[in-house]
Amino acid sequence: MNMAKRSCEEQFQTGEMLMDSGSIHKTLLVYAAPVLLMQLLQQLYNIADCAVIGRLCGGFGLAAVGVAGLVLAVHINFFIGFSVGVTSAVSRLFGARDFGKLRAMIATSVLLAAGAGLLLTVIGERLGQNYLTWLACPAEAMDDARLYLHICLLGLIPQLVYNVANGIFRALGNTKTPLLWLAASAVLNIALDLLFVGAWDFGFAGAAWATLTSQWMLGLGILWRLTRIDERFRFSFDAPLLSARELFSLLRLGVPSGMQAAFMSLSSLLIQISIDSFGPAAMAGMVVYAKIEGFMYYPAFAYGMALTGFIGQNLGAGRLDRVEEAMRISRRTAIRATLVISGALMLAAEPVVGFFTEDAATLTNGLAAIYWNFPFYFLYSLNQVYIGGLKGLGETGIPMLSALVAYALFRVVWCEALLPYWHDMAVIYTAYNVSFIVSLLILVPFYRHTFRRLTHPEPHGATVTAY
């Protein structure tokens, strides 16, 4: 086995990395760092894009982008979640060195993303006006929103392909390639915004076409890079595809993971209704809080995604000892890192919040959210560790269930039950903290059960499938 392992590692000259040997802590950090940078880069990408549109196209331009963006986000967020399921499947095949089936898995996943992108584009183009009406798009921004949505829907195919390809590269231990292509796309988008809108005065349509161009560059670029990985499993249009049974197994992993992301988005929308009842200052305070929260949310989310690929590879290689040790290290890392970051942000809360706003009421609400929630945020980081662990073990249904119960249902029921008797933002802040505990109460026992089932298989020849 060691000779075979060394042989495989020596032949991976195209960026792939096996993670079933070496320092667990170092490997996880090196593997997670580019994933975190991707999350932060995407956030900066959105901020810069909005800044260009806001300054050059006016306030209604921003409103139009915001409303149209909600429609696009529903589709894209689902496939970001779906890609984590792909990571779980691909990483296990890669760890097991089953390169024939791995090639079919990669080809099927990419073509599935492209086909779904085409279908959603057609549906979106036909129902775009209805979407904007359901979201109560302001009349003054309707024409721009409809135009922006119409153009950007043409970019769904490359965006979905990129997200699935990103999941594949994570599974192969290569998190640098998707980061570099995303960085190039972000730079191109901003440059085209300045050129189309600023220099050539193409107006709002110019901003949309700049976004579309950068998206297709990103999708085609990452697809080209998949054709340049190790020849034993690289993507090609003539590669064999998964059988119907194997495709169902992939969907069983990917769809629940996508639904988990959808439930998170649904939770945010439903909680927003309760926040709106406290007025503009509370709404603005939560917006500021969300921007600052990102400094903890994105590291925890990135680490969980990295853990999925790491555990999947080691499970495929039969290294359950490394799976167990990785979870122990990850729990300690999540708690300690989050407590340090949250403590630093709380100490600097007033100047940090003051950077975003000078309004006293907004400042008060933003600070209150930080002081109520940040001391307990390590619980969310633990959630991401167990979610990453479960997905790495091939169990995506439980993370979906925890998101549905703890976030989409519990938070809403909590607010609806308590706000009539105690109409205070503290009720909403506490809903977040308690929901983290509810989620852990679901995730922890199911993780232990899943791991125990792998280490002590049931009798009568019960086995675990490759993905």
pLDDT at 14: 63
**What pLDDT is stored for residue 58 in this prediction?**
52
- C-alpha pair distances (Å), 2 with each of 6, 32, 317: 6, 26, 12
Smallest CA-to-CA distance from 384 within 261, 464, 301, 294 is with 301
Of the candidates 183, 172, 165, 146, the one whose C-alpha atom is nearest the C-alpha of residue 222 is 165
4 C-beta neighbours (distance < 10 Å), count: 9
What sign does the dihedral 126-48-263-30 (CA atoms) show?
positive
Residues (pLDDT < 50) of the chain are 1-11, 59, 461-467
pLDDT at 234: 87
Task: State the Cα–Cα distance between residues 140 and 104, nearest whole angstrom.
Answer: 49
pLDDT at residue 5, rounded to an integer: 42
At 68 the pLDDT is 65
Say what the pLDDT of residue 356 is.
67
User: Nearest 5°: phi and psi at 458?
Assistant: -70, 155
CA-nearest of 386, 73, 427, 406 to 258 is: 73
Query: Which residue has 């960085």 as its token pair?
Result: 183
Please state the three-class secondary structure of the chain as a single string: CHHHHHHHHHHCCCCCCCCCCCCHHHHHHHHHHHHHHHHHHHHHHHHHHHHHHHHHHCHHHHHHHHHHHHHHHHHHHHHHHHHHHHHHHHHHHHHCCCHHHHHHHHHHHHHHHHHHHHHHHHHHHHHHHHHHHHCCCCHHHHHHHHHHHHHHHHHHHHHHHHHHHHHHHHHCCCCHHHHHHHHHHHHHHHHHHHHHHHHCCCHHHHHHHHHHHHHHHHHHHHHHHHCCCCCCCCCCCCCCCCCHHHHHHHHHHHHHHHHHHHHHHHHHHHHHHHHHCCCHHHHHHHHHHHHHHHHHHHHHHHHHHHHHHHHHHHHHCCCHHHHHHHHHHHHHHHHHHHHHHHHHHHHCHHHHHHHHCCCHHHHHHHHHHHHHHHHHCHHHHHHHHHHHHHHHCCCCHHHHHHHHHHHHHHHHHHHHHHCCCCCCHHHHHHHHHHHHHHHHHHHHHHHHHHHHHHHCCCCCCCCCCCC
Here the tokens at position 350 are 């007033």
